[in-house]
Amino acid sequence: MSSVESIKDIKERKHRNRGFCSFVKTMLLKVFLFTRYYIDILIDVIFGYFNDSKRVPIKKCTNPIILESATSLAQKIRKRELTSEEVVQAFVDRIKEVNPVLNALVDSRYEAALEDARKIDRDIANGTILDVDFQEKPFLGVPFTTKESSAVKGMSFTLGIVKRRGRRATFDADYITLIKNAGAICLGVTNIPQLNLWQETHNPLFGITNNPYNSTRNVGGSSGGEASLLAAGGTPLSIGTDIGGSVRIPAFMCGVFGHKPTSHLISTAGTTYKACDPDRTLIVISPMARKTDDLIPILKVLFGKSVDKLKLDVHVEVKTLNICYIQNPKDFSVSPIRDEMKFALNRAVKHFKEISTTPPEELNIEGTKFAGKLWKYWMSQESGVNFMKDITDRTGEANPIVDTIKHFTVGSEYTTSTIYNFINKLLPSPNEDWAIKETEKLREQLLAKLGNNGVLLYPSAPFPASYHHAAYLRPWNFHYFVIWNVLKFPVTQVPMGLNKEGLPVGIQVVAAPYQDHLCIAVAKELEKAFGGYVPPFETS
């Protein structure tokens, strides 16, 4: 009897110990999150003290053309309600108004773009361009911009690398050819972080890009120049690339829509050092827009012959979609989510609770907390990429230890963000078997929930755009974006209004591969319900 009682006592003691350990872990986590939350607040207070007085507003809009969507402008040119020259001139004038504050466009072709527009107008007037030409060229006469790390023949192509100073592209990236073939006219190229690898847009050749909602704030990266110019009314048609949130982070911080499409369908040739095989990269050519109406027409151009693999023209009955959501991905390397971001997600959830035939379902999936580790592993598998060589323009190989010491003592040709990437390369990499297994497990869990009629509402970031350079103190806050590059799911960044400081907030809408139309349909519904893009300037 005593032996039985002792075994029972041992089991109870172990159970109590486990309960105590669990309690201690929970309390330590709460203390950690509480402390981290107020450290973040303190960072903002300190950075604000030194920066708030430097804020410069951008000029009000006096020409309504710049508020039009790209598709609307194309239709007005087609109907001869506007000339292409009028449209191009309006955006050239707007860039000249806002770029001194934003530093978004780093190389322009204004006169050449205006001449391209005049030729189109002449051809329309004399009947050389017919209605059928507009069908084949859906953006005929509409201006566009793209990031400086994508080759546009004759334009700056430095990648923000000092050794490439003055370099110009001698060819067009594949997607640039598609956009030009659709009739669009290039105005110029926009700023990026050095080699695209940072969550803020800054490099030693062109400096830092400012947020149009508050010039002391980050625009995100790497397509930060694009998002900043688009939000400020400097371009109607904006194309970036997304390897770890590179379109969605700037779209979030600048209050516009950004869509990372299903992977492997668009050639990446001509983007940085990328080869043309899209099957072996996380990078995806991705559009941004002020209106959801532009997203599908742009995607049809970008997908080219691959467009048949998608259902972009299929009508989506939003009320019958299976809506899932995750409030907290539980990645504790990321700053705690603030109330304003929770509110943005909960507004969307509440909306679908009111209109959907099936109530939204909250998911509790552990794998999302590994986003950063998984992304680091899959980035190490990128085809044809060697960061240490690429950062030297492949003229040698950077030495992370020597170059880090040099940077913080006598200075170097690299930005601090590049030094962070050097340090990250020195840190241990995730176990290959674990990373592959965890990626597949997470993909299967989400596919089982999403299927071909579901979307996931997901946080964008712990808080809106922070002050310039504050990301150095919170380097992992981009993890909420990278998981969708790892899984290669389509995802749309959706603006959900402004916070009390006038900065954009938003959420991500995710779907299973080849279900891009579901993301965009939900984005359109949220735009209708909550207003979408809010201009960061006064309008007449």
Tokens of 200: 């803020």
Tokens of 7: 């075994």
Tokens of 518: 């579901």
- How many C-alpha atoms does 126 have within 13 Å on its Cβ side? 6
Catalytic residue among 69, 76, 108, 147: 147
Report whether 540 contacts 62 (CB < 8 A): yes
Predicted pLDDT at 493: 98
Dist. CA 79–CA 100, nearest whole Å:
34
- To the query of whether residue 147 is one of the catalytic residues in this protein, the response is yes
Dist. CA 55–CA 101, nearest whole Å:
10
Identify the residue whose tokens are 């800054």.
202
Least confident of 130-134, 136-140, 387-391, 488-492: 130-134
User: Per-residue pLDDT for 60 more than 80?
Assistant: yes
- To the query of whether residue 6 is one of the catalytic residues in this protein, the response is no
Predicted pLDDT at 5: 59
Tokens of 351: 């909306």
Catalytic residue among 69, 222, 335, 460: 222
Identify the residue whose tokens are 């997600």.
345
Predicted pLDDT at 496: 98
Distances (CA, A) of 421 to 161, 196, 219, 229, 424: 14, 11, 19, 27, 5
Residue 436 backbone dihedrals phi, psi, to 5 degrees:
-65, -45
Residue 147 backbone dihedrals phi, psi, to 5 degrees:
-80, 155
Coil, helix or strand at residue 366: helix
Report whether 539 contacts 67 (CB < 8 A): yes
Q: Which has more confidence, 349 or 13?
A: 349
Dist. CA 330–CA 364, nearest whole Å:
10
Could you give the dihedral angle defined by the CA atoms of residues 330, 333, 334 and 338, in that order, rounded to the nearest 10 degrees? 70
Over residues 298-331, the pLDDT tens digits come to: 999 999 999 999 999 999 999 999 999 999 999 9
Over residues 388-447, the pLDDT tens digits come to: 999 999 999 999 999 999 999 999 999 999 999 999 988 999 999 999 999 999 999 999
Q: Average pLDDT, stretch 245-265?
A: 97
- To the query of whether residue 222 is one of the catalytic residues in this protein, the response is yes
Predicted pLDDT at 7: 73
Over residues 153-212, the pLDDT tens digits come to: 999 999 999 999 999 999 999 999 999 999 999 999 999 999 999 999 999 999 999 999
Q: Average pLDDT, stretch 116-142?
A: 95
Q: 3-state SS of the chain: helix, strand, coil percent to 5? A: 50, 15, 40
Dist. CA 170–CA 192, nearest whole Å:
20
Residue 72 backbone dihedrals phi, psi, to 5 degrees:
-65, -45
397-427: burial string, b at 16+ Cβ within 10 Å, e else: ebebeebbeebeeeebbbbbbbbbbbeeeee
Cis peptide before 150 (omega within 30 of 0): no
Paired with 168 in beta bridges are: 156
Catalytic residue among 228, 246, 412, 460: 246
Residue 217 backbone dihedrals phi, psi, to 5 degrees:
-110, 160
Predicted pLDDT at 172: 98
Tokens of 60: 């009000």
User: Per-residue pLDDT for 278 more than 80?
Assistant: no
How distant is the alpha carbon of residue 180 from its chain centre?
23
What is the amino acid identity at position 223? S
pLDDT band at 132 (very low <50, low <70, confident <90, very high): confident
Average pLDDT, the chain: 95
